[in-house]
Structure 1
Amino acid sequence: MYYWLKQQTSNVLLEPYIREINQRPDILMYLNKRKIVIEFQCATTSVSEIRTRTISYQSLGIKPIWIMGAMFFKRIGPNYIKISPFILQFIHQFHSTFPPSLYFYCPKSKQVVVANDILICTPQKAIAKLHFFKINQVSFSALFKLSTLKDVEKRLLWKREKKRFRMKPRGRAYGKEREWLQWLYLRKTHIETLPSIVYLPVQSQHKMITPLWNWQSRIYVDILAPLHVGEVFSVQSCEFLLQNHQRMTKHHPLIESSRHPIHEYLQWLVYFNYLMKVSRHHYKILKIIKSYHNIEHALAGDQLLLADRADRTGKPIWIEEKSW
Structure 2
Amino acid sequence: MSFGESMDKERGGDSLLTAVTDGGLEVCLADANDKLKLLSYRREEHFLCPSCKQRVIMKLGDKRIYHFAHIGGSSCPHTYERESLYHLEGKKQLYLWLKKEGYCPILEQYDPEIQQRPDITFIKDGKKYAVEYQCSSIAADLFKKRTKAYISQNYHPLWILGGNHFKRKGENTISLSGFDFLFYKTEEFIPYYCSKQNKFILATDIHPISPQKAYANFTFIQPENTPVDLLLKPKKKIPVNLRAWCKLLQKVRLNMCKYHTQREGRFLKTLYHNRLNPFLLPPIVGIPIQSSVIIETSPLIWQAYVFLDSIHNKKLGQTIYTRDVIGAFFRRCNLKEILIREIPSLCGSKVDQAVNDYLEVLTELGILKKTSESTFLLMVKVEIPQTTLEQQEMEASLYQLLDTISKTNNKSTFRT
Q: TM-score range by the shorter chain?
A: 0.7 to 0.9
1:72 offset after TM fit, Å? Answer: 0.5
**Are residues 1:50 and 2:138 paired?**
no
Q: Does 1:121 align with 2:212?
A: no
Q: Which runs of structure 2 are paired with 1:121-270 in the superposition (5 Å)?
A: 121-144=209-232, 146-148=234-236, 150-151=238-239, 154-165=241-252, 170-243=257-330, 244=333, 245=338, 247=340, 251-255=342-346, 258=349, 260-270=353-363
Whether 1:3 aligns to 2:116 is no
Assess, with a 3 A threshold, how the Cα gap between structure 1 residues 234 and 53 changes in structure 2: closer, same or farther: farther
2:379 alignment counterpart: 286
Q: Provide the C-alpha distance between the structure 2 equivalents of 1:312 and 1:233, rounded to a whole number of angstroms.
A: 23
Moved more, 190-199 or 16-25: 16-25
Q: Alignment partner of 1:171: what SS?
A: helix
| Contact map agreement 2:323 2:374 (CA 8 A) in 1 | yes
Percent of aligned positions that are identical: 24
- What residue number does 1:33 align with? 126
Rounded Cα–Cα distance in structure 2 between residues aligned with 1:317 and 1:193 = 31
Q: 1:279 to 1:225 in 2, by over 3 A?
A: same
**Given residue 176 of structure 1, which amino acid in structure 2 is its aligned partner?**
R
**Normalising by the residue count of structure 2, what TM-score does the alignment of the two structures yield?**
0.69
Classify 1:12/1:317 alpha carbon distance in 2 versus 1 (closer, same or farther; 3 Å).
Answer: closer
Take 1:312 and 1:234, find their aligned partners in 2: how far apart are those partners? 24
User: Does the 8 Å CA contact 2:285/2:303 hold for their aligned counterparts?
Assistant: yes
3-state SS, counterpart of residue 216 of structure 2: strand
CA–CA distance in 1 between the matches of 2:372 and 2:260?
A: 40
**1:11 CA drift (Å):** 3.3
Alpha-carbon distance between aligned partners in 2 of 1:90 and 1:40, rounded to the nearest angstrom = 11
Secondary structure of 1:300's aligned partner: helix
2:181 is the alignment partner of 1:88: yes
- 1:28-63, CA deviations, whole angstroms, 9 ceiling, x for partnerless residues? 111011111111110011122112222332334322
Q: 1:312/1:25 Cα in 2 relative to 1: closer, same or farther (>3 Å)?
A: closer
- Do 1:275 and 1:285's aligned partners in 2 also have CA atoms closer than 8 Å? yes
Deviation per CA, 1:206-263, whole angstroms, max 9, x where unpaired? 3223211111111111211111122112222122212213538xx3232488472111
Instruction: Give distance in 1, aligned partners of 2:399 and 2:324.
Output: 27
Q: How many residues align?
A: 312
1:167-206 Cα distance to aligned partner (Å, 9 max, x none): 6682142221112112212222221231111001111223
C-alpha change, 1:19 and 1:272, in structure 2 (3 Å) is: same
Question: Hey, what's the Cα distance between the residues in 1 that align with 2:214 and 2:139?
Answer: 22
Using a 3 Å threshold, how does the CA distance of structure 1 residues 255 and 125 change in structure 2: closer, same or farther? same
Q: CA deviation at 1:269?
A: 0.2
How many Å separate the matches in 1 of 2:313 and 2:154?
49
Whole-angstrom distance in 2 between the partners of 1:239 and 1:110: 45
Report the counterpart of residue 66 of structure 1 in structure 2: 159
Query: What's the TM-score once normalised by structure 1's chain length?
Result: 0.87
> SS of the counterpart of 1:247?
coil
Gaps spanning 5+ residues in structure 1: where? Answer: none
- Residues 9, 31 of structure 1: 8 Å contact kept: no
Gaps of at least 5 residues in structure 2 are 1-93
Larger radius of gyration: 2
Greater relative contact order structure (CA < 8 Å, 6+ sep) = 1
Against the structure 1 CA distance between its residues 66 and 174, is the aligned structure 2 distance closer, same or farther, given a 3 Å change threshold? Answer: same
Secondary structure at the aligned position of 2:113 is classed as helix
User: Quick check: 1:268–1:319 contact (8 Å CA) kept in 2?
Assistant: no
C-alpha contact (below 8 Å) 2:256/2:264 kept by paired residues: no
Give the letter for the 1:206 counterpart.
V
| Structure 2 residue 199 is matched with structure 1 residue 111 | yes
SS in 2 for 1:239: helix
Amino acid paired to 2:209? C
Contact 2:370 2:376 in 1 (8 A): yes
**8 Å contact kept, 2:122–2:129:** yes
CA 89–155 in structure 1, closer or farther in 2 if over 3 Å, else same: same
CA gap of 1:313–1:120, structure 2 versus 1, over 3 A, is closer
Match of 1:277 among 354, 362, 370: 370
SS in structure 2 at match of 1:191: coil
